Amino acid sequence: CAILVLPIFFASSVSGLWSAVAIIGLAAAAHQGWSSNLYTMVSDTFPRSSVASVMGIGGAAGAVGGMLMSTYVGQVLETVGSYAPVFVWAGSAYLVALAIIHLLVPRLEVKPAA
């Protein structure tokens, strides 16, 4: 899913409206796949008693990130006058997150049935 977000880099430079809509639509669909996998990863890596707390902390961090991102986008538009830096940041954020996940999450092994 993280790789399907990469075409968002080109959304601000395509000439046609529907091309931009298609690229942004692909990125939105990839984001949904990413978030579904992220929810499942939490339940697979944390004890049952901690899943709700971890998801709550993640939701709060996402809300704060959304507030900060809207401020950042406004400043970029005032300074640069284009969404290009925002699309580059948004597309690369998934790859950075994927790399962090691979570095921090241990390998999960299936326990044999008793």
pLDDT tens digits along 8-57: 777 878 888 898 898 888 888 888 888 888 888 888 888 889 999 999 99
Averaged pLDDT, 74-101 = 88
Work out the pLDDT band at 108, boundaries 50, 70, 90.
Answer: low
Whole-prediction pTM: 0.72
SS3 annotation, the chain? CCHHHHHHHHCCCCCCHHHHHHHHHHHHHHHHHHHHHHHHHHHHHCCHHHHHHHHHHHHHHHHHHHHHHHHHHHHHHHHCCCCHHHHHHHHHHHHHHHHHHHHHCCCCCCCCCC
- The residue extents of the domains of the chain are 3-46+53-104
